[in-house]
Chains A and B, each alone.
Chain A
Amino acid sequence: MTATTPVPLSPAGNPIGFGRMLRKEDARFLRGQGHYLDDIKLPGMLHGAILRSPHAHARLVSIDTSAAEAHPKVKAVITGAMLEGLKLAWMPTLSRDVQAVLATDKVRFFGQEVAFVVAEDRYSARDALELIVVEYEPLDPVIDARLALAEGAPVIRDDIEGKKDNHIFDWEAGDREATDRVFSEAEVVVAQDMLYPRVHPAPMETCGSIAHMDRVTGQLTAWSTTQAPHAHRTLYSLVAGLPEHKVRIISPDIGGGFGNKVGIYPGYVLAVVGSIVTGKPVKWVEDRSENLISTSFARDYHMHGEIAASRDGKIKGLRVRVLADHGAFNGTAQPTKFPAGCFHIFPGSYDLDAAHCEVTGVYTNKAPGGVAYACSFRVTEAVYLVERMVDVLADELGIDPAELRRINLLRPEQFPYTNKTGWVYDSGDYGRTLEVALEKAGYTELRRRQAEGRERWRAAGGSPEDPGAGGEHLMGIGLSFFTEGVGAGPKKHMDILGLGMADGCELRVHPTGKAQLRISVQTQGQGHETTFAQIVAHELGIPPEDIEVIHGDTDNTPFGLGTYGSRSTPVSGAAAAVVSQRVREKARIVAAAALECSPEDLEWELGRWQVKGDPEKGKTVAEIAMLAHGTLELPEGVEGHLDASVVYDPPNLTYPYGADICVVDLDPGTGRVKVDRFIAVDDCGPRINPMIVEGQVHGGLADGVGMALMEAIQFDRSGTCLSGSLMDYLLPTSLDCPSWELGETVTPSPHHPLGVKGVGESATVGSPPAVVNAVIDALEPFGVRHADMPLTPAQVWLAMRGRPLRTDIVEM
C-alpha cells in the first residue's frame, strides 16, 4: 500500500492505517502536561552537582573536600579516589574504550567531571562545589586534531597501558588499488580539504538521571534521559556489577535527543553511586553549559577528498582521507566493526568505478562523543564530503552541478546496487527525484535570474576588490543529492558491545479489541506513539486511537537497542508490522474455529476475517479478541488470547534518499547570508504519517541551516570551550528558516515489510551540503571553491578575500 491508497477512517476520524493524523502525544505536550525527568520528584530525593575541570589537560595534585562536607545541607561528596575504591572510577564507553566517571590521575578535557556533591537541594549542591579546593598541575593540551599524532605530542591517554601516542584506530573501506588505478588514468583529478566541525545537538531538555537504589530489595531504578533504555540497563549491570534483573531503566518523556542521549554519562553513574552512598534517591540534571561543554558532540571530521573524472563529466573515482577527532575518550556508539560508522556510504548516489577511504581516529583534549546529532553513524559526514566534491568537480569542469549529478546518478535498473565499499542500496529511482526537485525549484529560471543578478552587481560597481560597492546582492543556488544507509542493523554485521541490533516487539489485543503495543525504541519527539499505532492499525484494521504504544520502561518492554540513526521505523517499525501480522494469523485461526470452517476458507478484509464467497459471514478483530479470551474451543496446539511477540533482525539497511536545493541571498558588503528558499524532495518509501514525516524533515532542514551557517563547538588554543552557552553556540530559529518547499517520490524498500525506509535524519544529512554549495555558488564571482562551515558573516567575508578560516579553533 502506498500513501495514495485511500484508507478508511475510524470513528474519531483517524486513518485506519497510513495517512495524516494529529499526534497522539500532542494531547499532553501541547497542554504542557508532558512528564519529563525533571518533573519527577520522589520522597526524600537528594540532588547532585558536578565539579568540572577548568583545564583541558592537567594532573590532579590534590582535592580537599572538607569545607564542602561541612556545608550543613551536604550529604556526601564523592571524588575519583573514592570511586577507585569501589572500582567505579572508570566506565566502559560504547566503543570499547573507558571513560573516567570522576578524574583520578588527570583531567583530559575542559569541563571533565572531577567531584560530585549530593545535597538536600540543587542550590546547596551547586554552592558546595565552590567549597571544594582542587590543585591542578597544568599540562600541554592537544587541541588541534591535526597535531595529535605529531612527534612529541603530549600523550593524553597514559591511563592505557603502554599507550605512547594519541592514536585510536585506523580503518579503511573500498578498494585502494583499483582506486589508485582509476586516479592515475583519469583525465581530471581535483582535491579539496574540508572540515565538518564539531557541532552539538543541544536538545531543549538537557541530560539527567534519578537513581534510586533500594537497599532492602537491591533493586536499582533509574529514570534517565535515554534514547536507549535497554542498552543502558545492560551497561549499568556491566559497569557496576549489578544483577540485570534488579535494574530497571525508565525513560520518561524526552525533550529531544538527536543522539545526545544515547550514551551513558558520568552524571548518570554518579547519581547511582550517590544513591548507594546515601540510601536516598538522587537526582542529577545538568545545566545548559554542562550539556554543551561535556556531553556528546557530533562530527569533528577533518576530511581530504579527491575526485577523478573524465573531461565530459563522468565521475570515475573518489578517494578520501579522514582525521576523526574523538576527544579524550572514545565515546562514540558505532557498531563494533565500524569505527567510522556507516561512512561506507561516501561514494554517495553515483555510479563510480572505484572508491577508497581511510579514517584515522585520534584523541584530543576535548569532550568525548561523536555519536550525536542525528548521529546517522557518520552518514552526515560522508554525504557532505561527496556532495561538496561533486560541486568542486563541477567548478573545475565548468559543468552545471545539476547536469553533473544527472550524468552520474545511479540508474533505476542498477538496483539493488552494490556500492564500491560493498554496501547494497536496496532501491531507488534517483533521476526522477532529482527532476522533481529541479522542477519544483524552477531551476532553469533560477539560473537565469542569478546570471542577471551577477550582471547587475558588476554594473553597479561590485568586484572582488570592492564586493559591497553598489549594494547589489548575489544569489547562490546549491544542490545536494543524498543517499543514507539507516536502520542499523543486520545482526550478522552490527552490534554495539556485542549486543545485536535486532529489536523486540510485543502486541496484546485485549478482550474488547483494544490493543497495547510494546516497543523497544524510545521516542524523543518523533511521534512513535502515533506512527506505531498506525502501523498496527494498518495491519489489524483497528483504529489507531484504540492502540496504546508503550515504550521507555525496561520492565515493561522487550529488548532492543533504542532510537538513533533513523532506526526506529526501519527496525522496530518492521517488528511492529510483523508482530501485527502474527496476531492477524492467529486471529484467523480463532475466527475459523468460531465460524466452523478452515482458516484457508477465510479472507482478510481490513479489520475482519470473512468467509470467501460469503462475506456476510465473518468476525471482526474485536469479536475475535473476545472469542480468543473466552470459552471457544480452539484447535489443537492453538493457545488462547490474542497476542504475539517477535524479534526483528533486519536483513539489510534501508536506503532513503533525496534531492535538496537551496537558494541563498548574499549581501557582499557584509558577508551576511540568508536562506531564501529550500526545496527538499525526499524518498523514504511509503509515508506512514506524512505529517510526521514532514515534521521530521522541517526540523532536519532547520538543523542543516544551523550547521551550515552558525553552529560550531569551538576552542581556544588552551582548550577552553568557547561555546558553553546558547549565546555562544548559536541555534537557528524560525527567522533563519524560509518556508520549506517539500516534495516526495515513493520507492519502497523491497525488504522492509512496509517498504518504509526511515526519515529521521534525511534532512540533517542532505541539507548542510546544499546550503554550503549555495553559499559557495553565490561566491562564484570571487573564485571561491570552498570554505568550511559554519559560514558566518565573518567566514563569508574572509572567503570573498580568499582566506577563509579554520572553524574548529579560534585564534584570539
Chain B
Amino acid sequence: MQTPAPFEYEHASSVDEALALLERHGPETRLVAGGHSLLPMMKLRLARPERLVDVNDLTDLAYVRREGDQIAIGALTRHAQLASSPLLASLYPIFQDAERVIADPVVRNRGTIGGSLCQGDPAEDLSAVVATLGGSLKIRSRTGERVVAARDFYLGPYETQVGPAEMVTEVVIPIRPGAGSAYEKVERRPGDWAIAAVGCFLTVSGGVIADCGIGLAAVGAPGLPALEAEAALRGRPAGEEAYAAAAQMAAAHCRPQTDQRGPAEYKRDLVAELTRRALRRAAARVMAGGA
C-alpha cells in the first residue's frame, strides 16, 4: 500500500465555497476532482498538498450542452459522460475517439475534463482535443471570471494559467457546422498514455479546406497546436497531398523527447503518420456529414 504524506481534507458544496477555501488556506491547498492524476502523485509523494478541497459535490458543474453556437462543458464532467454525450458524438466525434483510448473504464468513470486540463500533463489527451478545437476555459476567482483560450492555457508542463485561488468551471468549444474531426493515438498498450497522439478537425467548402485545427499530445507542451501544419492546410484542396504536407509540418515542428516509450525520431514519424490518418478520417466524416 502506498502512503501519502499527511494532508487535511475538506469538501466544498458550491463553487463559491471552494474558492473561499482556496483563498483562506493558501497556495498549498489543491482542488481534487476525479483524483486520478492527483492521488497517484500524492501516493508516490511527488505531490504533497497540505490540504485537499474536494469538488465532487459540485454536480451542477457536470454537463455538456449547446449554448448558441458553442458547446459548454462543465469542469466536473467525467470522461464517461463525454464519451456518451450524443451532442459531442454528432458535432465532434473527436471526443469519442479520444475517450475510447483514455485510460480504462474505472478511470473514465471518475476523471473529469477540468482535472485533465488542469493537470497539464503533456500526454493528456483532452488537452490535445480542446486545443485542436480552439476551445477556451472559464476560470473563476472570488472576484470574477476570465476566459482563456486553450492554446494559451499552458505555461509549460504541469503549469497552467490557473492561479492558487482560482478554478476552472467550464470549457467552451465553438460549433462549426459541417466540421469533421478525429483523434488518432498510439500507445504501448490499451489504457496507457500516448506515445504520440494527433487530433484534428476540418471544414471543407467546395473541396477546399476552409478551416482546420491540429493538436498534438505527448510530443511537446500539453495541448500543443500544430500551427504550421494548420497553415499548410488552410485554403488547400482536401486530399492526400495536403495531408502529407501537414503531416510533414506537424512532425517537423513538434518537440518529442526520447524516453521509455521510444526515441524522439520514432515519435516524430508517428506524428506524421497519425496526422495523415486523423485528417483522412476527419475528411471522411466531413463527407458523411454531407458538407
Q: Is A780 an interface residue (CB 8 A)?
A: no
Contact in complex: B193, A792 (CB < 8 Å)? no
A812 to B277: give the CA distance in the assembly, Å.
29
Asked if A672 meets B2 with Cβ closer than 8 Å, knowing A725-B44, A794-B261, A797-B266, the reply is no
Binds A, one of B12-20, B26-34, B184-192: B184-192
Asked if A798 meets B190 with Cβ closer than 8 Å, knowing A810-B260, A812-B258, the reply is no
Contact with B along A298-336 (1 / 0, CB 8 A): 000000000000000000000000000000000000000
Contact in complex: A670, B186 (CB < 8 Å)? yes
Contact with A along B44-78 (1 / 0, CB 8 A): 10000000000000000000000000000000000
Cβ of B187 to closest chain A Cβ, rounded Å: 8
Which residues of A have CB within 8 Å of B266?
671, 793-794, 797-798
Contact in complex: B260, A727 (CB < 8 Å)? no
Contact with A along B96-114 (1 / 0, CB 8 A): 0000000010000000000
Per CB-CB distance, the 3 closest pairs between chain A and chain B, nearest first, are A794-B262, A735-B190, A126-B3
Q: Is B195 an interface residue (CB 8 A)?
A: yes
Which residues of A have CB within 8 Å of B104?
733
Closest to A670 in B: B186
Q: Is A468 an interface residue (CB 8 A)?
A: yes
Closest to B258 in A: A812
Q: Is A285 an interface residue (CB 8 A)?
A: yes
Extra contacts, 10 of them, besides A671-B186, A794-B195 (Cβ < 8 A), are A123-B3, A468-B273, A670-B274, A728-B260, A732-B189, A733-B191, A735-B190, A793-B270, A797-B270, A798-B266
The bracket for how many chain A residues form the interface is 35 or more
Contact in complex: B195, A793 (CB < 8 Å)? yes
Q: Is A722 an interface residue (CB 8 A)?
A: yes
A794 to B6: give the CA distance in the assembly, Å.
40
Residue among B5, B186, B192, B259 making CB contact with A810, cutoff 8 Å: B259
Residue among B6, B189, B195, B257 making CB contact with A736, cutoff 8 Å: B189
A269 to B138: give the CA distance in the assembly, Å.
56
Q: Is A620 an interface residue (CB 8 A)?
A: no
Q: Is A806 an interface residue (CB 8 A)?
A: no
Q: Is A287 an interface residue (CB 8 A)?
A: yes
Residue among B1, B191, B192, B259 making CB contact with A38, cutoff 8 Å: B1
Cβ of B33 to closest chain A Cβ, rounded Å: 19
Residue among A285, A723, A797, A810 making CB contact with B269, cutoff 8 Å: A797
Cβ of A118 to closest chain B Cβ, rounded Å: 15
Contact with B along A279-294 (1 / 0, CB 8 A): 0000001011100000
A675 to B190: give the CA distance in the assembly, Å.
13
Q: Is A785 an interface residue (CB 8 A)?
A: no
Interface of B is mostly: loop
A128 to B199: give the CA distance in the assembly, Å.
46
Which residues of A have CB within 8 Å of B263?
794, 798, 805
Which residues of B have CB within 8 Å of A471?
277
Closest to B190 in A: A735
Contact in complex: A736, B190 (CB < 8 Å)? yes
Q: Could you list which residues of chain B lie within 8 angstroms of chain A, going by C-beta atoms? A: 1-3, 5-6, 40, 44, 104, 186, 188-193, 195, 257-263, 266, 269-270, 273-274, 277
A732 to B1: give the CA distance in the assembly, Å.
22
Listed A/B pairs (24) with beta-carbon separation below 8 Å: A122-B1, A122-B3, A123-B6, A287-B2, A288-B2, A289-B44, A670-B270, A670-B273, A671-B186, A671-B266, A723-B260, A727-B193, A728-B260, A735-B189, A735-B190, A792-B188, A792-B261, A793-B195, A794-B195, A794-B261, A794-B263, A810-B259, A811-B258, A812-B257
CB contacts under 8 Å to B, within A115-138, are 122-123, 126-127
Closest to B2 in A: A287
Q: Is A424 an interface residue (CB 8 A)?
A: no
A736 to B2: give the CA distance in the assembly, Å.
27
A209 to B279: give the CA distance in the assembly, Å.
55
Cβ of A810 to closest chain B Cβ, rounded Å: 6
Which residues of A have CB within 8 Å of B262?
792-795, 797
Which residues of B have CB within 8 Å of A811?
258
Cβ of B287 to closest chain A Cβ, rounded Å: 18
Which residues of B have CB within 8 Å of A743?
none
A725 to B258: give the CA distance in the assembly, Å.
19
Contact in complex: A289, B195 (CB < 8 Å)? no
A669 to B273: give the CA distance in the assembly, Å.
7
Residue among A289, A732, A733, A812 making CB contact with B259, cutoff 8 Å: A812
Which residues of A have CB within 8 Å of B6?
123, 127
Which residues of B have CB within 8 Å of A792?
188, 261-262
Which residues of A have CB within 8 Å of B259?
810, 812
Closest to A125 in B: B3
Contact with B along A167-190 (1 / 0, CB 8 A): 000000000000000000000000
Which residues of B have CB within 8 Å of A670?
186, 270, 273-274
Q: Is A742 an interface residue (CB 8 A)?
A: no
A793 to B258: give the CA distance in the assembly, Å.
14
Q: Is A446 an interface residue (CB 8 A)?
A: no
Q: Is A710 an interface residue (CB 8 A)?
A: yes
Cβ of A73 to closest chain B Cβ, rounded Å: 12
Closest to B261 in A: A794
Cβ of A351 to closest chain B Cβ, rounded Å: 39
Contact in complex: B3, A735 (CB < 8 Å)? no
Which residues of B have CB within 8 Å of A98?
none
Q: Is A745 an interface residue (CB 8 A)?
A: no
Which residues of B have CB within 8 Å of A709?
189
Contact in complex: A793, B190 (CB < 8 Å)? no
Which residues of B have CB within 8 Å of A722?
260
Asked if A730 meets B195 with Cβ closer than 8 Å, knowing A672-B186, A794-B262, A798-B263, the reply is no
Cβ of A29 to closest chain B Cβ, rounded Å: 20
Closest to A723 in B: B260
Contact in complex: B186, A793 (CB < 8 Å)? yes
A745 to B189: give the CA distance in the assembly, Å.
34
Which residues of B have CB within 8 Å of A797?
262, 266, 269-270
Cβ of B255 to closest chain A Cβ, rounded Å: 15
Of B2, B104, B261, B266, chain A has the most CB atoms within 10 Å of the CB of B266
Contact with B along A713-725 (1 / 0, CB 8 A): 0100000001101
Contact in complex: A793, B3 (CB < 8 Å)? no
Cβ of A516 to closest chain B Cβ, rounded Å: 35
Cβ of A694 to closest chain B Cβ, rounded Å: 24
Contact in complex: B273, A793 (CB < 8 Å)? no
Cβ of A365 to closest chain B Cβ, rounded Å: 19
Contact with B along A8-51 (1 / 0, CB 8 A): 00000000000000000000000000000010000000000000
Asked if A735 meets B191 with Cβ closer than 8 Å, knowing A670-B273, A793-B186, the reply is yes
Closest to A121 in B: B3
Which residues of B have CB within 8 Å of A795?
262
Cβ of A773 to closest chain B Cβ, rounded Å: 21
Cβ of B261 to closest chain A Cβ, rounded Å: 7
Residue among B5, B186, B190 making CB contact with A733, cutoff 8 Å: B190
